């Protein structure tokens, strides 16, 4: 069976167009065997055809992206399924991600870590995302971390990062010109995108992934 699952992944990697065919063929049982918690996805309202798109990077997932602060025993985080809710800043648009809030509403307090190993694909300021960093995982998932208060290192595009490596700190940057802060409570906006035959950035709901990684929180003790 293991062989069959690997074959499936290879197909996905080498032929993005196969995704269309896979959507028809992969059973829920097949997804479960690949380690995907199908029930969590279904509760989050993700259709089977979409769940298949998470397969390519599923084995890359290691850590929950918000980490505990060393000054606090057992930092807790909150997030809700706000997929495609309306947002107004920057014109009418919908929420392509998931927001993670810490118990303390303080910018620069909680470390943000990479959920996967990968390569820094994009870094710098975006009017909506503020200070953001985007990591491409080995399986091809693009993990987008936004509103950071600062970066943990002088990352450059092309740099490799490890799963669990500190990328920066949870903050409240964005919604304006470079350096804008305080337009909303501090939180981490997390987005996941994959390449499909039709779109370079096909957005996936990160909520079920975050639920899956909830108990894989990293805590920093110095």
Enumerate binding residues for Zn ion (CB under 5 A): 97, 99, 189
Minimum Å gap between C-beta 213 and Zn ion is 17
- CB nearer to Zn ion: give 189 or 218: 189
Nearer to Zn ion, 60 or 99 (CB): 99
* Structural Rg of the chain based on CA atoms: 17
Q: How many CB atoms lie within 10 A of CB 205?
A: 23
Nearer of residues 8 and 112 to Zn ion, judged by Cβ: 112
Alpha-helical segments (H) within 34-184:
38-43, 48-51
Looking at the Cβ atoms of 97 and 203, the one nearer to Zn ion is 97
Distance CA 135, CA 123 (A): 9
**Between 139 and 175, CB nearer to Zn ion:** 175
Query: What would the DSSP string read from start to end of 14-68?
Result: H-TTHHHHHHHH--HHHHHHTT--HHHHHHTT--HHHHGGGGGGGGG----SB-B
Question: Minimum distance between the CB of residue 128 and Zn ion, rounded to whole angstroms?
Answer: 9
- In whole angstroms, the minimum distance from the beta carbon of 11 to Zn ion comes to 33
Q: What is the distance, to the nearest Å, from the Cα of residue 35 to the centroid of all Cα atoms in its chain?
A: 18
23-43 burial, b at 16+ Cβ within 10 Å, e below that, comes to eeebeeebbeebebebebbee
Nearer of residues 63 and 175 to Zn ion, judged by Cβ: 175
Minimum separation from the CB atom of position 188 to Zn ion (A): 8
Return d(Cα 141, Cα 89) in angstroms, integer. Answer: 26
| 86-87 and 93-94 beta bridge pairing | antiparallel
Residue number closest to Zn ion, CB atom: 189
* Distance of closest approach, residue 99 Cβ to Zn ion, in angstroms: 4
To Zn ion, the closest distance from the beta carbon of 155 in angstroms equals 21
Neighbouring C-beta atoms of residue 153, cutoff 10 Å: 12
């Amino acid at each position: 069976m293991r062989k069959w699952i690997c074959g499936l992944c290879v197909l996905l990697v080498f032929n993005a167009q196969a995704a269309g065919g896979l959507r028809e063929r992969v059973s829920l049982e097949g997804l479960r065997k690949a380690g995907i918690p199908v029930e969590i996805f279904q509760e989050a309202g993700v259709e089977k055809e979409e769940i298949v798109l998470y397969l390519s990077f599923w084995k890359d997932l290691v850590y929950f992206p918000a980490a505990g602060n060393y000054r606090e025993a057992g930092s807790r985080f909150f997030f809700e399924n706000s997929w495609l809710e309306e947002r107004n800043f920057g014109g009418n648009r919908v929420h392509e991600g998931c927001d993670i809030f810490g118990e303390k509403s303080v910018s620069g307090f909680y470390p943000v870590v990479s959920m996967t190993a990968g390569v820094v694909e994009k870094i710098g300021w975006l009017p909506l995302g503020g200070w953001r960093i985007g990591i491409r995982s080995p399986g091809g998932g693009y993990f987008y971390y936004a509103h950071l208060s600062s970066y943990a290192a002088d990352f450059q595009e092309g740099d490799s990062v490890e799963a669990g490596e500190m990328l920066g700190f949870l903050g409240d940057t964005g919604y304006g010109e470079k350096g804008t802060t305080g337009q909303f409570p501090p939180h981490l906006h997390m987005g996941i995108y994959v390449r499909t035959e039709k779109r370079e950035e096909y957005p996936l709901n990160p909520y079920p992934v975050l639920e899956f990684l909830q108990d894989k929180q990293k805590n920093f003790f110095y």
